[in-house]
Amino acid sequence: MTEWKARRFWTASAIEEAGQGFQVLLDARPLRTPGRLPLILPTADLALAVAGEWDAQGDVIDPNAMPLTRAANSAIEKVAPQFADVADMLAAYGGTDLLSYRADQPAELVRRQAEAWDPLVDWAATDLRAPLRITHGVIPVDQDSRSLSQFHRHLTELDAFGLTALHDLVTLPGSLVLGLAVIRGRIDADTAFRLSRIDEDFQIERWGADDEAEAAAESRRQAMRVAERVWHLSRAG
């Protein structure tokens, strides 16, 4: 049986203002989410980028080639209706943040983690007012409740599109600090990805790379790049 695939049904896209945001038109028909909700985007820049994804489609629609559209759908259908729950889930990463958990050996790995992560731990303490406690080895550490409250406050100040962008920037590297550092312009997504892989890269140097693992890692890196782009486009004018 031939698999059914959605085919292009429009000639060209455009954008127009819609309430407090912008919507994409496909041959004058407003674009909607899969759940048939209005796809209202917060900025013209994001609307133009989403429209560009639709214009770039061939005869057969490829959803995988429209990451910005998928992110917008998620922001509207998933994040906005359960904003508090998503914020709570991401804030919990501060309690087990990757940057808090350090190797106790070998010495070279200990050094690399300290050099790469300590500046961001210091940044979290000063700029975010959320100091992190550091542990070595497998011993867990409880973070100060005041730091966790500060992390949560920073998340609740975002909108649905900002929280959507932050989601992949936190969950993929396993660090709330790395994600917040990206959206606050301290580092970019590629740097966050690299910093999250200090241990993996150290092991690769010693034992070599695994093709399947490297492909999965590259997929995560690309997803973080998309998330960073969603963040910037949803902030622009």
| pLDDT score of 19 | 86
Mean pLDDT of 129-141: 93
pLDDT recorded at residue 6 = 80
Residue count of the chain, please give it. Answer: 237
Half-sphere exposure of 8 (CA within 13 A, CB side): 14
Please report the pLDDT score of residue 99 as a whole number.
98
- Residue type for 167, please? H
The region, left, alpha or beta by phi > 0 then psi within -120 to 50, assigned to residue 149 is alpha
Average pLDDT, the chain: 94
Residue 227, judged by CB atoms within 10 A of its CB (0-12, 13-18, 19+), counts as buried
Lowest-confidence region among 8-22, 43-57, 72-86:
8-22
The pLDDT of residue 2: 47
Answer whether residue 3 shows pLDDT above 80. no
From CA 98, how far away is CA 62, in angstroms rounded?
35
pLDDT tens digit sequence for 198-215: 999 999 988 888 888 899
Percent of the chain with pLDDT over 90: 82
Q: According to the model, what pLDDT value does residue 237 have?
A: 55
Q: Rounded distance, CA 137 to CA 52, Å?
A: 48
What is the mean pLDDT of the segment spanning 212-221? 93
- Please give the model's pTM, rounded to 2 decimal places: 0.93
pLDDT tier at 228, thresholds 50, 70, 90 = very high
Q: In the predicted model, is pLDDT for residue 4 greater than 60?
A: no
pLDDT in tens, 145-179: 999 999 999 999 999 999 999 999 999 999 999 99
pLDDT tens for residues 56-102?
A: 888 888 888 999 999 999 999 999 999 999 999 999 999 999 999 99
**Rounded Cα–Cα distance for residues 198 and 126 (Å):** 24
Query: Where does residue 62 fall: left (phi above 0), alpha (psi -120 to 50 degrees), or beta otherwise?
Result: beta
Comparing 94-98, 107-111, 133-137, 209-213, the range with the smallest average pLDDT is 209-213
pLDDT over 70 percentage in the chain? 97
- pLDDT at residue 5 in the model: 65
Burial class (CB in 10 A: 0-12, 13-18, 19+), 85: exposed
- The pLDDT, as a whole number, for residue 218 is 95
Domains of the chain: 1-64 (3.30.2180.10), 82-235 (1.10.3580.10)
